[in-house]
Structure 1
Amino acid sequence: MDETALLIFTLCLQAAIGSMIFITLGKQLYKDKQFKVSALISACLSVVGVLASFVHLGQPFSALNSLSNLGSSWLSKEALLAGIFMGITVLYAWVQYYRPESQGLNTVLRWAGSVLGLVTIFSMVKVYTMASVPVWDGTNTFVDFYATAIALGALIFLVSSFKELNEANQRLFPFIVLATVVIQVAAAVPYAFSLGLNGMAAQASAEVLSEMGVVIALKWLLILGGAGLLLWPAIQKAGATGAKSASGIIYVAAAILLIGEIIGRYVFYASMITSHIGLT
């Protein structure tokens, strides 16, 4: 598969967007917390994602060309929105570390990043659903991209801010992750089966997915297993799991779930069979 740069771009940017959303939610719950580590991770992921998109374009100046058709091209809109989102996350992280007293600017950047992030994911989805690739052309891509952002965002926020959260919210965020990945499964499985009922390209995609059955099974095993393991400290009785033990389990669960999401995005690109023109 030669879409590694796109895999990095989509996963990193969606994770950064999800992280920013949960930082915004966290600030609503904890007025006195900064969540600096989460902000820094969001900024770094957005930078890595945008740089990966440059690699995919072949040369940095091609990025400027990708902005030349904003009126009719979702690819141009995606490039512009991703760049603006990256700028907001970097500025927000800088403000968190060096101007934490600027509460007004903090709030504006946080909410702007969250709202723009959701719009950016929409533009990413439109790029793929309009690409004449049957396996991408459906509501499953919407669900998958948004669910990935929410699951990874909640995961990043939980891991990076675990000690800043009270016990109730330490239990809440694992349930959010699990609920989100269950929605992913509920959307993906019936959609995969429905491909065989459509045209030749869709049937070919279904055949590719069938041949990758073991990989897909591993993907869901890791994603659901990681989300389930994430719940373990949350369902224990108070005091039954020490802080160090709980954080260790969360780190392991996060790694397992992340590997599953990476495999899932690999499958997303590996199943690409176009009906006539391909990605534009």
Structure 2
Amino acid sequence: MHELPLVFFTVLAQASAGLFILMTLNKLIIKQPDDKAMFVSGVISLVIVGVAGFSAILHLGQPFRAINALFGTGRSPMSNEIVSCSIYGGLLFAHLAVSYLRPQMTNAIKASRIATAIAGIALLVLIPKVYTIETIPQWNTSYTMIQMLLAAFTAGGALAMILQPNRINLAVTVLSVMLSVFILPSYLAFLSQTAPHMLELGMSFWNAKFALYVVAVALAVLAYRKNWMPLAIGSSAVLIIAELSGRIAFYDLWSINM
């Protein structure tokens, strides 16, 4: 658990991007939710990614030198991650500003929404690339990319269910959870060969993630059927905790502080 700032950064940044991407797709495909709900979802996404960014700063030995990450853009996966998160957050803020100050500029709002969603997709792809390190075989696997992408839509889908409890968001949430559960046994089998001792130490977190998944899906289905927001809020909270548990286990697969 020595990398808690990165645990919160990665999970929350992915949840924020997943939420905004899903709400954008809802707006493009079924023309819902309304502008007010879209604005609220954008604010929630901005707050979450803001907390994620603050968590990342806490991990730095000298936070005021974070600007140095810009010099590694293009060649350093970590720099690309930081820059993409900044671009996503900046575009999201600009989108909300236009939506609030110039609501009549519908084309500009739509364009900025799509641009922000694309930046969110780039962020989701770039975060896992930080951890594909050849010297750490338990990270240097396709499982890392798949699990982190799915995390965006388990947590993001559950958050979307709060504002838009429809079949699309429910299906994305449940399917993402099911895929995560489906690949978990083969991933644990892989870890039992590459890092058996570390896997044993982190099994309680993997077990917690699985158990929380079951609770979260049950709450999400009930939230959809009953159309009751507290259940949707509970589902999203449980899923975020589940992803945090899994991410702690992931970072604990490396015993040396980053």
**TM above 0.5:** yes
Following superposition, the deviation at residue 175 of structure 1 comes to 2.4
5 Å-filtered alignment, 1:222-241, equals 222-234=212-224, 236=225, 241=226
Q: The residue matched to 1:66 in structure 2 has which SS?
A: helix
5 Å-filtered alignment, 1:34-73, equals 34=35, 35-73=38-76
CA separation in 2, counterparts of 1:215 and 1:71?
A: 34
Specify the alignment match of 2:120 in structure 1: 117
1:268 counterpart = 2:250: yes
Asked if the contact 2:158–2:220 (Cα under 8 Å) also holds between the matched residues in 1, the reply is no
Q: The residue matched to 1:182 in structure 2 has which SS?
A: helix
Specify the alignment match of 2:199 in structure 1: 209
Asked if the contact 1:216–1:264 (Cα under 8 Å) also holds between the matched residues in 2, the reply is yes
1:196 counterpart = 2:196: no
Q: Could you tell me which amino acid in structure 2 is paired with residue 260 of structure 1?
A: A
Of the two, which has the highest radius of gyration? 1
CA separation in 2, counterparts of 1:174 and 1:36?
A: 21
Specify the alignment match of 2:109 in structure 1: 106
Per-residue displacement from partner, 1:153-204 (whole Å, max 9, x unpaired)?
Answer: 2211211344xxxxxx2x332222111011112223202202333xxxx2xx
Q: Which moved more, 1:176-185 or 1:124-133?
A: 124-133
Q: Could you tell me which amino acid in structure 2 is paired with residue 104 of structure 1?
A: N
CA separation in 2, counterparts of 1:32 and 1:215?
A: 36
CA separation in 2, counterparts of 1:153 and 1:3?
A: 22
Asked if the contact 1:22–1:157 (Cα under 8 Å) also holds between the matched residues in 2, the reply is yes
CA separation in 2, counterparts of 1:32 and 1:265?
A: 31
CA separation in 2, counterparts of 1:272 and 1:36?
A: 40
Residue identity (%)? 26
Specify the alignment match of 1:15 in structure 2: 15
Following superposition, the deviation at residue 32 of structure 1 comes to 7.1
Q: The residue matched to 1:271 in structure 2 has which SS?
A: coil
Q: Could you tell me which amino acid in structure 2 is paired with residue 33 of structure 1?
A: D
CA separation in 2, counterparts of 1:233 and 1:10?
A: 27
Q: Give me the CA root mean square deviation.
A: 2.1
| Number of positions where the alignment pairs a residue of Structure 1 with one of Structure 2 | 255
Specify the alignment match of 1:77 in structure 2: 80
Residues 141, 262 of structure 1: alpha-carbon distance in 2 compared, 3 angstrom cutoff: same
TM-score w.r.t. the length of structure 2 is 0.90
